[in-house]
């Protein structure tokens, strides 16, 4: 009897063990902690957990759906370089061949780049600021101005002119695009995901652009044709500015070198900024009425009036996000921006002020320009001064990464 009971007990234990052993063991990744709650571009983020692949390349980490580089891995930790994620709240996701896990949401603090100049006697000194820290690109030996800034990964590009020559700087190293005797300006810059560098500008007052330093002459560019902005999408190159025909300068859009007039051609007009959203092309600028410039933008060639024409007004920069149209500029002495046609003044008009650039990041609106002699930018309407006003200074362009 005892032997029978013992045998039954042993059999029961074996069955129980067999059931336990047959239950699948999870090999999907899991996360126990993140080393940071706030991240910046190029920070190292340490992800702790289980079931990561010890081969770094076999782990996919995205932050706000942007791939992050995994440069070190073990079964219990991943070391990741933070990319430019494009928003202030970023969700972290890890994938391996065994599964996917959401690691949590982090706060991303962007870097703010602005280009401008500060006057030194009769010459302007080209500068840019990164998060308020100044970097001088010229010494003031000759006159110089920046017109555009673009940031791609770790590279900082500034385009403008020095000593009547179109130039640009990459990480403070100067490159020349034109000869001094022709007079030149680099007015806009765009860098693609493939790191092709497109720069719009003019030489001998004729519109052109350069791709990786190689000149491309824009067709139908007559005497006094000035490009102000360049944008590249799906291998198509868009340039806007103005072209003089019959003694009147009017907004022109060149697509892959072929030009089309955008405005009515009955009054002087100029295109200063361009943005593309889906298949829609937006150009900001001005068109004269009763001898005064009126701030406008054009969507696929149809004008939208922003100012009432009572004062000199110009739309200088345009960005489109989620079907909302943001335009920076000035109206009289007031620097402002418009959202879907509604005006948001940045200054009170007691000093001359201009808004030259607008940039959107997450839910934040950044605008750069000047008030009086002071170079400044505004974040959601709050001013940040970068110069002290002892010398005239101005911000001409900005980029938020």
Bridge-based pairing state of the strands 112-120 and 393-400: antiparallel
Bridge-based pairing state of the strands 99-108 and 38-39: parallel
Biggest alpha carbon–alpha carbon distance for the chain: 118
Provide the edge-to-edge strand list for the sheet that holds 334-339. Answer: 313-321, 324-331, 334-339, 342-345
SS3 at position 176: strand
Task: Give CA–CA dist 258/95, Å, rounded.
Answer: 46
Task: Give CA–CA dist 148/160, Å, rounded.
Answer: 7
Q: Over its length of 401 residues, how does the chain's per-residue pLDDT go in tens digits?
A: 444 444 444 445 444 444 445 555 679 999 999 999 999 999 999 999 999 999 999 999 999 999 999 999 999 999 999 999 999 999 999 999 999 999 999 999 999 999 999 999 889 999 999 999 999 999 999 999 999 999 999 999 999 999 999 999 999 999 999 988 888 999 999 999 999 999 999 998 899 999 999 999 897 665 689 999 999 999 999 999 999 877 788 999 999 999 999 987 678 999 999 999 999 999 999 999 999 999 999 999 999 999 999 999 999 999 999 999 999 999 999 999 999 999 999 999 999 999 999 999 999 999 999 999 999 999 999 999 999 999 999 999 999 99
**Under CATH, what is the fold of the domain 30-108?**
Immunoglobulin-like (2.60.40)
Chain segment 222-236, per-residue pLDDT in tens: 568 999 999 999 999
How is the chain split into domains, by residue range?
Answer: 30-108, 112-400
- Tell me which CATH homologous superfamily contains domain 112-400: YVTN repeat-like/Quinoprotein amine dehydrogenase (2.130.10.10)
Chain segment 155-165, per-residue pLDDT in tens: 999 999 999 99
Q: Contact 377/369 with Cβ under 8 angstroms?
A: yes
- Cα–Cα distances in angstroms (integers) from residue 326 to residues 55, 238, 285, 286, 356, in the given order: 45, 20, 13, 15, 13
Backbone φ, ψ for residue 56 (5° rounding) = -55, -40
């Amino acid at each position: 009897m005892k032997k029978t009971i013992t045998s039954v007990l042993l059999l029961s234990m074996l069955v129980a063990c067999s059931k336990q052993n047959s239950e699948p063991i999870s090999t999907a990744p899991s996360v126990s902690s993140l080393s940071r709650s706030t991240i910046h571009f190029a920070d190292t983020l340490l992800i702790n957990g289980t079931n990561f692949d010890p081969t770094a390349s076999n782990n996919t980490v995205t932050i706000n759906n942007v791939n992050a580089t995994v440069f070190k891995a073990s079964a219990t930790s991943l070391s990741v370089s933070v990319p430019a994620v494009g928003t202030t709240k970023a969700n972290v996701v890890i994938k391996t061949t065994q599964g996917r896990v959401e690691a949590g949401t982090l706060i991303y603090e962007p870097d703010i780049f602005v280009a401008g100049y500060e006057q030194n006697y009769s010459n302007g000194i080209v500068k840019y600021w990164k998060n308020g820290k100044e970097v001088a690109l010229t010494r003031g030996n000759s006159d110089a101005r920046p017109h555009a800034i673009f940031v791609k990964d770790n590279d900082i590009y500034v385009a403008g002119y020095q000593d009547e020559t179109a130039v640009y700087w990459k990480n403070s190293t100067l490159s020349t695009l034109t000869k001094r005797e022709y007079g030149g300006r680099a007015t806009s810059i765009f860098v693609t995901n493939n790191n092709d560098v497109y720069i719009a500008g003019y030489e001998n007052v004729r519109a052109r652009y350069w791709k990786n330093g190689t000149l491309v002459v824009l067709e139908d560019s007559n005497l006094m044709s000035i490009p102000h902005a360049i944008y590249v999408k799906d291998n198509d190159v868009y340039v806007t500015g103005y072209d003089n025909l019959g003694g009147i300068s009017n907004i022109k859009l060149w697509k892959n070198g072929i030009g089309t007039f955008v405005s009515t051609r009955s009054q002087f007009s100029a295109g200063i900024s361009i943005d593309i959203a889906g298949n829609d092309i937006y150009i900001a600028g001005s068109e004269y009425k009763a001898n005064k410039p009126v701030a406008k933008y054009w969507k696929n060639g149809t004008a939208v009036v922003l100012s009432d024409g009572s004062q000199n007004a110009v739309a200088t920069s345009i960005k489109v996000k989620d079907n909302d149209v943001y335009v920076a500029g000035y109206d009289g002495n007031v620097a402002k921006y418009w959202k879907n046609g509604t005006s948001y003044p940045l200054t009170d008009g007691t000093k001359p002020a201009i808004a030259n650039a607008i940039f959107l990041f997450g839910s934040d609106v950044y605008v750069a320009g000047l008030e009086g002699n002071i170079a400044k930018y505004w974040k959601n309407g709050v001013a940040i001064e970068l110069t002290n006003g002892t010398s005239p200074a101005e911000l001409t362009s900005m980029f938020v990464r």
